[in-house]
A = this chain, B = another copy of it.
Amino acid sequence: MAPKYKLTYFNTRGLGEPIRYMLAYGDIDYEDIRISFEEWPKLKADSPYGLMPFIEINGKVINQSTSICRYFAKQLDLAGKDEFEALQIDATADTIADLRHTIGDYWWRSEEKDKPKKREILVNETIPKYLSRFEKQVQDNNGYFVNGKLSYADLYLAANVEYLSAVMKSNILDGYPNLKALVEKVDNIPKIKAWINKRPQSYY
């Protein structure tokens, strides 16, 4: 039987990997369509909002990576046991997305001449501001982001770390032992580990 889901993204981790982590964790069958940087301009006009990743579900094409993660997280019991827990998980994922967005702005949407100054602000201010608060949140919540148990916010961080570290050219979690331990825990979940071992190689 054909897979129910078709995920389309570049052949990179980037914004696609958090969705792929959810699908791997849930052992959900899908078609992992990877578009080269050269092919993308031809497909862009017909894609929803001209952006990837997007996913086809029930014949409908949907964009927005965090929303797609949440959709699968609900099926996998990773989105909160009640509305208040869901809010805390959602807010955490959105804050991780904010950090990613800021680093992505620097890397993909800045002029070369502005990059050294922007990098300095990221390294000395922005990244420590986010990560020190994430570190405290995980420390206060018994090794996870919310209420001492696994949620999609944890997978969301783990799936973003390599991409962000590649862009910053150093492990962004150095100096944050609770975050490192959390990511290691997520990446050692057998189904996530199997995915990491079999996924296509990519730099970002």
Contacts and interface: CB of A to CB of B under 8 A. Distances in A.
Contacts of A98: 49
Contact of A57 (B74, B84, B105, B130): B84
A88 interface: yes
A57 B101 CA distance: 27
Contacts of A66: 94
Interface residues on A, range: 20 to 34
Interface in A47-73: 48-50, 57-58, 60, 62-64, 66-68, 70-71
A90 interface: yes
A19 to B, nearest CB: 12
Interface string A35-46: 000000000000
A24 interface: no
A83 interface: yes
A115 interface: no
Contact of A62 (B63, B64, B87, B105): B87
Contact of A49 (B63, B68, B101, B130): B130
Most buried by B among A62, A75, A91: A91
Contact of A91 (B67, B94, B105): B67
A95 B48 CA distance: 10
A129 B95 CA distance: 26
A48 B83 contact: no
Contacts of A130: 49
A71 B49 contact: no
Contact of A87 (B71, B83, B105, B129): B71
18 contacts: A48-B133, A49-B129, A49-B130, A49-B133, A50-B129, A57-B87, A58-B84, A60-B88, A62-B87, A62-B88, A63-B91, A64-B91, A66-B94, A68-B87, A70-B90, A71-B86, A75-B83, A105-B105
